[in-house]
Amino acid sequence: MSGRPFRVLHVIDSLNLGGAQEIVLNLTACGHARFHHEVATLHGRGVYWERLASRGVPLHSLSPHKLIPLYIPRLAMLLHRGSFDILHCHLVASNILAKPIGALCGVPVILNHDHTNDSYRATQRVRLALDSLTNRAATHVIAVSASCRDFLVQREHVPPAKISLVKNAIDLTRFTPDHGARANARHFFSIAEDTPLIVGVGRLHPQKNFHLFLEIAARIVKQIPNATFLIAGVGSEEATLREAAQRLGLSERVHFAGYVADTRLVYQAADLLLMPSRFEGLPMTLLEAMAMRVPVVASALDGIAEVVTDRKDGLLCDPNDADAFAQSAVLLLSDNRLAGTLADNARATVSAQYSVTRMVAEVESIYDRFSP
């Protein structure tokens, strides 16, 4: 190596809004100087492009659109030209495409970072088979939650010794409670100071189940008529969600904030985070809200239940039970003492177990273990 830094190329499907993108940002921005990180997105740019660029991370967009497969030859050219020591793959398409290309190009170390438990993995046999097959090209696999690890072992037959559990994490110096910021955050979103505010954060995608969020909102309003809701995110479901809000009589109660670059504003304004997801790996939004002392009502599934202990640092509900979600939300909005206790415990949980310093150190130890 002649003393030069190890060269790491992160390949990810896109740099649009998502938890995996936040992980890539943390790994590239908070890592040790002995690793030189670059990031390649299969197509386009996305909201994380500027965030990575502002931190000096070299970036590569391999194709203008996902339906134009220039990313295949261009990734091969980049790997050949860049002499990378480590290929670190994130998300489904990158895991399936980049691992065999990296193997053919002779990259010494290939890592598959498994971020979520997408529902297709149980229903789409071709994708499942491809993911399982290309895992053979991986030197090692990183799972963000125990449920992700178990799926890899049970459904994709990855040997347990080939998997490391590295839980997602956040920058606790950035996501820290600031009670004095509430008024400014409320003003930013044009929300009155005395209005109960329930927020949802994430891609407007079926996984996040914002249609159920709206059904829950309609039930909450019946008990707390001045309750207001803010949805921060963009995605393919925005038009249908706006239509659903209107149909439920919530047009004046639901604010669609779009992409919010600094999500701390959302948490500073919020009284409650509502997360009725259908499936998750280990969601960054959950960790961020807990770190900011925002009480959480979330689905009792997958990586969420690995973080939140019901009635200790959050409330968990059946992901299909709108009534249970509404009752839990109303309880926390009505009981300040319970909400405060859960929020305090949530901050303590995240501080103890989910710091970005810990996550980066664990990933770098994997780099060191397998680097030539």
Structural domain contains residue 256: yes
107 shares a domain with 70: yes
In order, the DSSP letters of 6-70 are EEEEEEES--SSSHHHHHHHHHHHSS-TTEEEEEEESSS--HHHHHHHHTT--EEE--SSTTSTT
Q: What is the bridge-based pairing of β-strands 163-165 and 140-143?
A: parallel
Q: What is the pLDDT of residues 97-114, one digit of tens each?
A: 999 999 999 999 999 999
The three-class DSSP label of residue 132 is: helix
What band does 179 get if pLDDT is binned at 50, 70 and 90?
confident
Structural domain contains residue 184: yes
Which range among 28-42, 103-117, 119-133, 261-275 shows the weakest confidence by mean pLDDT?
Answer: 119-133
Structural domain contains residue 106: yes
The letter for the amino acid at 96 is I
158 shares a domain with 189: no
Q: What is the pLDDT of residues 289-344, one digit of tens each?
A: 999 999 999 999 988 999 999 999 999 999 999 999 999 999 999 999 999 999 99
336 shares a domain with 301: yes
CB 8 within 8 A of CB 37: yes
190 shares a domain with 73: no
Which domain CATH number covers 13? 3.40.50.2000
Average pLDDT over residues 9-27: 94
The letter for the amino acid at 156 is E
Structural domain contains residue 1: no
110: enclosing H helix or E strand: strand 109-114
242 shares a domain with 142: no
What band does 31 get if pLDDT is binned at 50, 70 and 90?
confident
CB 174 within 8 A of CB 205: no
Q: In what order do the strands lie in the sheet with 86-90?
A: 59-61, 35-41, 6-12, 86-90, 109-114, 140-143, 163-165
363 shares a domain with 347: no
How confident is the model at residue 119, as a pLDDT?
59
Average pLDDT over residues 201-219: 96
188 shares a domain with 157: no
What is the rounded CA–CA span in Å between residue 20 and residue 56? 19
Structural domain contains residue 88: yes
Structural domain contains residue 174: no
337 shares a domain with 310: yes
With a pLDDT cut of 70, the percent of the chain lying above it is 98
Structural domain range at position 70 = 6-169+355-370
Q: Which two tokens stand for residue 190?
A: 């044009």
Structural domain contains residue 96: yes
353: enclosing H helix or E strand: helix 336-353
229 shares a domain with 193: yes
**Entry pTM:** 0.90
334 shares a domain with 250: yes
66 shares a domain with 137: yes
How confident is the model at residue 160, as a pLDDT?
97
Number of domains comprising the chain: 2
Structural domain contains residue 254: yes
103 shares a domain with 33: yes
